[in-house]
Copies of this chain bind each other. A is one copy, B any other.
Amino acid sequence: MHELYERDVLTKLREIGAKKILIQTPEGLKKEALYLAEFLRKEGVDVIISGDINYGACDPADREARMLGCDALIHLGHSYMQLNLDVPTIFIPAFAKVDVIGALEKNLGKIRRLGKRIALVTTVQHIRNLESAKTFLEKNGFNVSIGDGDSRVSFKGQVIGCNFTAAKVENDIEGILFIGAGYFHPIGVALSTRKPTLAVNPYSGDAIWLEREVERIIRKRWAQIAKAYDAQRFGVIVSTKKGQLRLGDAKRVMDLLREHGKEAYLIAMNYINYPSLEGFDFDAYVVVACPRVPIDDAENWRKPVLTPKEVELLLGVREEYEFDEIFGGERRKDEPLGISLKL
């Protein structure tokens, strides 16, 4: 079980005078959510658990907390994201208890192929191991940069699915080393930076290169754009998830489409998926929300589904393929490890 900092949580809740709280959790921390609920209940806190599946800090249940009469929200599994929240929210990231040095040591040969000057990034799970990883790599002759990132992330060197600013360091780096499991994050690193990217998995000890996968994705994206050439009626989709709501971007896309003689309708929805939209019968869709929806879910859509920047390519007002990153402002400080409380 992941550490829950339940005593610290209780102290924070008492500090802010919260007597009734909502706990929100990703799929993988449901048992932890129940444990925390029971711990807090025994301490006299009235607890409701959100049953809605949560995929990120961009989707806080703060509105739900307020409508349920809760004084605070506890958001498990993700670090703090700067949003205008309806109730005080305690973000408790899940830090992995896995050593990363072993996997780095095993893959030193591959890492050397990135070059000598590298940027080092990871997800919040391994953020506490980033400094020791840097020290290890420097001892092995690398010049390691850890990017600040912008205010959409909580920590230096942290990446999330829609923001890879921490991978974009000022130094002239040759490649990027990502520490973590899975394809989702390192693909984003490579797609956003277009630099040689190696992902080292601290659990399996495996390392994967991302260039080929990214080239394949970009080819598929151009194929989506080509499929949309004859489209006349566009559904432009915004999200009602607080951290994905980009109304200004959507307005720009609507204006651009209309200037080019297309029909455009603005659609708002929570869980963006094709089956819910099928009855509208648009020729093509633009997702102005989570940029990963068009990229990772396109095969489930029967109609072309584009990002805002892909619409610009379609209409000929942009030439180079670019990832639809969601940027924050300047990041001034790391959020406290363990609990990030944002009032």
Contact = CB atoms under 8 A, between A and B. Distances in A.
Interface of A: 22, 27-28, 30-31, 33-34, 37, 47-53, 63-64, 67-69, 235, 237-238, 240, 242, 245, 247, 265-272, 276-277, 279-281
Nearest to A49: B267
Contacts of A238: 48, 68
B272 A240 contact: no
A-B CB proximity, top 6 nearest: A51-B269, A30-B279, A51-B267, A48-B266, A64-B240, A52-B269
Given A67-B245, A240-B68, A279-B27, A265 B50 contact: no
A268 B30 contact: no
Contacts of A37: 265
A56 to B, nearest CB: 16
A267 B51 CA distance: 6
A237 B67 CA distance: 15
B30 A267 contact: no
Per assembly, the copies of the chain total: 2
29 contacts: A30-B279, A30-B280, A33-B280, A34-B265, A47-B265, A47-B266, A48-B268, A49-B265, A49-B266, A49-B268, A50-B267, A50-B268, A51-B235, A51-B237, A51-B267, A51-B268, A51-B269, A51-B277, A52-B240, A52-B269, A52-B271, A52-B276, A63-B63, A64-B268, A64-B270, A67-B245, A68-B240, A68-B245, A270-B270
A114 B46 CA distance: 51
Contacts of A68: 238, 240, 245, 247, 268
Contacts of A245: 67-68
A335 to B, nearest CB: 24
Contacts of A48: 238, 266-268
Contacts of A47: 265-266
B50 A269 contact: yes
Nearest to A33: B280
The interface centre, meaning the residue of A28, A238, A270 with most chain B CB atoms within 10 A of its CB, is: A270
Given A51-B269, A64-B268, A68-B247, 9 more contacts: A27-B279, A48-B266, A49-B265, A49-B267, A49-B280, A50-B267, A50-B269, A51-B276, A67-B240
A232 B279 CA distance: 43
B247 A51 contact: no
A236 to B, nearest CB: 10
A228 to B, nearest CB: 19
The interface centre, meaning the residue of A47, A69, A266, A281 with most chain B CB atoms within 10 A of its CB, is: A266
A75 B34 CA distance: 37
